Amino acid sequence: MSHRIATPAPVVVDPRAGDVTAPTPEPRRRDYAGIGLWIALVLTTLLWALPFAIMFLTSVKSNADISATDPWALPTSWAWSNYAEAFEVGKLGTTGLNSLVISLIKVPLGLFFAAAAAYAIARLRFRFHRLLLAVIAVGSMVPIQIALGPLFNTMLELGALDSLPGLMLPYLAFGIPYAVFVLYGFFRAIPDELEESARIDGASTFRIFIQIILPLAKPALAALFILDFVGTWNEYAMATTLLRSQDNWTVPLAVQSFSTQHGTDYGPLNAFIIMSAVPVLIVYLMFQRYFVQGALAGAVKG
Amino acid sequence: MAVVPGLVEQAPGARPRRRTRRRSPFLTALPYLVPSLLIYGYFIVYPMLDSVRLSFYRWSGFRTEEPEFVGLDNYVRLFTQDPVFWKSFGNSVIWVVLSLAIPMLLGLLLALALNRQMVGRSLMRSVIYIPSVFASITVAAMWRWIYNPTLGMVNQLLEAVGLGAWTQTWLGDPKIALYSVFAASVWQAVGFPMVLFLAGLQSVAQELVDAAKVDGANAWQVFRNVTLPALRPTTVVVVILTIINSLKVFDLIVGMTGGGPAQSTQVLALWSYTQSFTNHSFGAGGAVATVLLLLSLCLVIPYMAWSMKGDGK
């Protein structure tokens, strides 16, 4: 990894295995240290997986079963109905749809704005462009809680409290800095010749941006899309500050509410937690590569 | 290389000059910048600065009353009459130190171990990384159940192995609640440094490692003299991000303890929020937020300078 963090590095780690580390030329004897290490790793992995296993087992038990059996024991009867009940009680249909609508509108729009800004900063070479980048990047790292009080007042004045479109505005704002920072690095690396030859052919700046620069940034855009989607789906602090009525809640608010209101319905609670996390898990399993790339390209978690 | 304006247009066969080429670069850039800067400025920068402004006022946050200017009064109170502030400040420091010690080192060890060829390597990486993909509020709900005093996994496990005397009210005891919450954060956070270190390890030149081995260096010497120096830039990134993320901890604490019991898990970010929204004192909340902002900037600005250096054109 070069010390210029914002360079669009090629895929460095591919968690789906297959990245090649040169095998050490070991003589033909048992590598006891290696075996010991492997066993230690397997145990660590099992420890990390244990909470998931316990959560699943709890989610299919009745309350009576939970009191009677050990957390790691199989249920005496599989209470799949917990899932339906949790879905109903926690209003996962409504809140899930809210989260989905917010993510699907906010993420592409924010990426487009961020790409435009990153293009301007990286390639249009106006004065102070690096200062501007620094100001934006700093904003992506400062704790968002600092802004919450005044943000509440701002949204109140705009009459945008407790509405999904109203929540999207600060959501756009918190996703943009990180995306600008990553895309800036990407756009810097595109050779000037491409742009120059397009200019000679008479292409406008806007056309160059849309037809040359954006398509080249596809891998970075894809990685950012996934990361921003997950970040938006998981966001809690701003949502809890700006949303009031249950009909407008996003999934994290529903999880927290379920956990405080129905904290003793252990089966449905765990079923709800699992259901709330499934979309993120699916996204992760489908796009593992992007998580790693995105984390590396910016190394500035927004 | 920079484009010299005016050179390109002289090329034979070029179209007539476009008007846009004569404008200053900034005017060309402006329309691209406006949407992002407007949104970012209005919904992040302005509220943050407004927190600083509010810290000099006394205000309940209700529309019906006007904020009253009180100078440094909020800060005086914060530093002299607010024991919770010092508690939350101390907890934030503890959190930073622990995060640097445990998840970061564990992440490094896991990265070193999982960098070798072995059976099931990618599955192990995934299992350890996945918790960091989940919402912190979800992780908090999970761990509240794990820590449940009677039915939770931790106490049940202790009972099962005959250590019943060790069972605790993990989240209900002011002496240990902070560390219980921290344990959940280790489970969630360790994947991030691991992935960054794994990436850093790809930059360790294999020839150097092989050469060192040929020269008779043992595993520790190779690590000490080849691997570790190559990991230095990665380590800087991980250290800074770990500290920043520690200052941002909020959801996990809200979800697990809400700052209790007896403010024992209170941290700066949450105390600022609580002062503003629960205690209706936007001035005091703003003062805590300002302290947090200054702390963050002390870290972020040097880091940005470091990461953007060598990028000039």
pLDDT tens for B19-71 read 445 578 888 889 999 999 999 999 999 999 999 999 999 998 888 888 899 98
pLDDT tens for A202-238 read 989 899 999 999 999 988 899 999 999 999 999 999 9
Joined tokens for residue A128: 């102070």
Non-local CB neighbours of A219 within 8 Å, separated by 6+ positions: A8, A293
Q: Using CA atoms in the order B158, B164, B166, B170, what is the torsion angle rounded to 10 degrees?
A: 70
List per-residue pLDDT tens for chain B, 313 residues long: 444 444 444 444 445 544 445 578 888 889 999 999 999 999 999 999 999 999 999 998 888 888 899 989 999 999 999 999 999 999 999 999 999 999 999 999 999 999 988 889 999 999 999 999 999 999 999 999 999 998 899 999 999 998 888 888 999 999 999 999 999 999 999 999 999 999 888 888 888 888 988 888 888 888 888 899 989 888 998 999 999 999 999 999 999 999 989 999 999 999 999 999 999 999 999 999 999 999 999 999 898 888 777 554 4
Give me the percent of chain A exceeding a pLDDT of 70: 88
Q: Are A102 and A167 in contact (CB under 8 A)?
A: yes
Give the mean pLDDT of chain B. 88
pLDDT at B165: 85
pLDDT at A25 over 80: no
pLDDT at A67: 85
pLDDT at B268: 96
pLDDT at B102: 95
The distance of A223 to chain B (nearest Cα, Å) reads 14
d(CA B67, CA B59) in angstroms, rounded, equals 5
Tell me whether A73 touches chain B (CB under 8 Å).
no
Segment A255-273 shows an average pLDDT of: 92
Give me the percent of chain B exceeding a pLDDT of 90: 64
pLDDT at A44 over 60: yes
* β strands within chain A, DSSP E: none
d(CA A187, CA B170) in angstroms, rounded, equals 49
pLDDT at B309: 74
The distance of B284 to chain A (nearest Cα, Å) reads 11
H or E segment and range at residue B37: helix B25-40
Task: Count the neighbouring beta carbons within 10 Å of the beta carbon of residue B115.
Answer: 19
Tell me whether A192 touches chain B (CB under 8 Å).
yes
pLDDT at A28: 52
Contact B296 A142 (CB under 8 A): yes
Tell me whether B312 touches chain A (CB under 8 Å).
yes
* A-chain residue closest to B283, CA distance: A149
Contact B43 A169 (CB under 8 A): yes
d(CA A267, CA A77) in angstroms, rounded, equals 12
Tell me whether B273 touches chain A (CB under 8 Å).
yes
Q: Are B250 and B273 in contact (CB under 8 A)?
A: yes
A122 falls in which pLDDT band (50, 70, 90)?
very high
Joined tokens for residue A281: 């898990």
Of the partner residues A1, A129, A152, the one whose CB lies closest to the CB of residue B200: A1
Provide the terminal-to-terminal Cα distance of chain B, rounded to the nearest Å. Answer: 8
Q: How far is CA B139 from CA A64, A231, A273, B134, B136, in A?
A: 25, 14, 9, 7, 5
Stretch 65-104 of chain B: residues touching chain A, C-beta under 8 Å: none
pLDDT at A24: 52
A99 falls in which pLDDT band (50, 70, 90)?
very high
pLDDT at A106: 97
Tell me whether A270 touches chain B (CB under 8 Å).
yes
pLDDT at A15 over 60: no
Query: Got the DSSP string for B168-232?
Result: --TTT-TTTHHHHHHHHHHHHHTHHHHHHHHHHHTTS-HHHHHHHHHTT--HHHHIIIIIHHHTH
pLDDT at B24: 81
Q: Are B43 and A170 in contact (CB under 8 A)?
A: yes
A29 torsion bin: left (phi>0), alpha (psi -120 to 50), beta (else): beta
pLDDT at A268 over 50: yes
A147 falls in which pLDDT band (50, 70, 90)?
very high
Stretch 154-213 of chain B: residues touching chain A, C-beta under 8 Å: 156-157, 160, 187, 192, 195-196, 198-200, 202-203, 206, 210, 213
Tell me whether A120 touches chain B (CB under 8 Å).
yes
pLDDT tens for A272-300 read 999 999 999 999 999 888 887 777 766 54
Note the pTM of the prediction, 2 decimals: 0.86
